[in-house]
Amino acid sequence: MRSRRLTALLALLVVVVVVAGGVYLLTRSTSSSSLTLGLQDDALLTSAEPLAVPTVKALAPKLIRFNIVWSDVAPRKPAHPANPADPAYDWAKSDRIVTLAATLHASLLFTIVDAPKWANGGESPEHVPTDPADFGTFCGAVAQRYPTVARFTIWNEPNRGQFLQPQGTAGADAPSALAGLAKACIPAIRARSSQALVAIGPIASRGGQGGIAPIPFLAAYRAAGGPRPDAIALNPYLEGQAPLFVPNEHPADGAVTIRNLDWLEDVLKGVYGDTMPIWLTEFAVRTVAPVTNADQATQLRQSVELVRSHYPYVPLFVWFLLRDQGPHDYWRSGLVDSAWQRKPAFAVFKSLE
């Protein structure tokens, strides 16, 4: 009886954290710790780099996220686009990832992105297809070729102009564009892989390049007739903020990060009537001054522990990059540096699995 009371008291423990100008209450909950840790590093894991596979095997992530780039897989229009065996399709990179995941005993999450010129009127890949049905057909072909893939997401950061066009005035067109893609893609995947889960997004934590923040973006998506997905995918970058739970945090820019996922979940419950899973599909801490390698490791641990302790509706958390892209590149978020030296975060990742 005493142990039960102690457990109850611990579950209600309130920790006061003082951080750079504020006091935050972190209520420790009894949330489930069943959080799958994943990794994404598309270019490295499909390259001929000899150290890539041994290093990722040593890390042993439980999930691999990979972007299926439609414009790369089908640069010319297939004669039979619903058939993944059409010779116009080039599945070499995704086949490599499927093989790698099998050796790791890891599950897969595929994000289907970018349109070829033949499908979007000759525009650059971030422009959505003229006919969303073409995208749906491709989604179906992907699901048919890879029946073991359990999770899919639709497009990448559609609320940022860098990744989806047209955004329209003040981001007004992008939500309806995503709604059209989802209407075509979700049923196409389910028709060929009845057990697969399909999320929309990942949505960027902040709007950018003409796009809008996650919550108004999702409201406009629903208003445009966007179907209910199995989950909402989010890339919850902190942009220098501390990985702390801040109750009722509603930033002026509408950012949704691991600090305030409860805000997004409350909105989704109000719309859909029950819990909506949120997939955290891309997250990282860059080791760029003043952030040190030790800081990165600490923030990785804090971030995962925050998600596990407060958000039981989050089943997965994907770290972006195994290896730094270069010693002076923007993306120095790898768990190893560009010289293949393991950072402290490498061991932390393994310890958190």
Model pLDDT for residues 234-268, shown as the tens digit of each residue: 999 999 999 999 988 999 999 999 999 999 999 99
Taken in order 140, 144, 147, 149, the sign of the CA dihedral is: negative
Task: Kindly state whether residue 11 falls inside one of the protein's structural domains.
Answer: no
- How far is residue 198's CA from residue 195's CA, in Å, rounded to a whole number? 10
Number of domains in the chain: 1
Predicted confidence band of residue 4 (pLDDT cuts 50, 70, 90): very low
Backbone angles phi, psi at 14, to 5 degrees: -110, 125
Task: Kindly state whether residue 9 falls inside one of the protein's structural domains.
Answer: no
pLDDT of residue 2: 38
Rg (C-alpha) for the chain, rounded Å, is 20
pLDDT by residue (tens digit) across 261-316?
A: 999 999 999 999 999 999 999 999 999 999 999 999 999 999 999 999 999 999 99
Least confident of 24-33, 103-112, 302-311: 24-33
Q: Is the CB of residue 93 less than 8 Å from the CB of residue 140? A: no
Q: Residue-wise over 279-304: b if at least 16 C-beta within 10 A, else e? A: bbbbbbbbbeeebebeebbbbbbebb
Q: Is the CB of residue 261 less than 8 Å from the CB of residue 236? A: yes
Tokens of 286: 């860059």
More confident: 1 or 142 = 142
Residue 330 has pLDDT above 80, yes or no: yes
Task: Kindly state whether residue 45 falls inside one of the protein's structural domains.
Answer: yes
Least confident of 32-36, 261-265, 285-289, 319-323: 32-36
Task: Kindly state whether residue 5 falls inside one of the protein's structural domains.
Answer: no
Residue 20 has pLDDT above 80, yes or no: no
Task: Kindly state whether residue 3 falls inside one of the protein's structural domains.
Answer: no
Q: What are residue 70's DSSP bridge partners?
A: none
pLDDT of residue 248: 86
Task: Kindly state whether residue 249 falls inside one of the protein's structural domains.
Answer: yes
Domain that holds residue 215: 32-352
- How far is residue 189's CA from residue 185's CA, in Å, rounded to a whole number? 6
Task: Report the percentage of the chain scoring pLDDT > 70.
Answer: 91
CATH number of the domain that 98 lies in? Answer: 3.20.20.80
Find the helix or strand (DSSP H, E) in which 58 lies.
helix 52-59
pLDDT by residue (tens digit) across 56-74?
A: 999 999 999 999 999 999 9
The pTM (predicted TM-score) of the whole model is 0.91
Predicted confidence band of residue 33 (pLDDT cuts 50, 70, 90): low
Backbone angles phi, psi at 162, to 5 degrees: -60, -30
Task: Kindly state whether residue 23 falls inside one of the protein's structural domains.
Answer: no
Residue 204 has pLDDT above 70, yes or no: yes
Ramachandran region, residue 6 (left: φ > 0; alpha: ψ -120 to 50; beta: rest): alpha
Predicted confidence band of residue 9 (pLDDT cuts 50, 70, 90): very low
More confident: 265 or 5 = 265
Task: Kindly state whether residue 21 falls inside one of the protein's structural domains.
Answer: no
Residue 19 has pLDDT above 70, yes or no: no
Task: Report the percentage of the chain scoring pLDDT > 90.
Answer: 89
Predicted confidence band of residue 3 (pLDDT cuts 50, 70, 90): very low
What are the Cα distances from residue 224, in Å, to 33, 177, 181, 218, 229?
A: 36, 9, 11, 10, 14
pLDDT of residue 247: 87
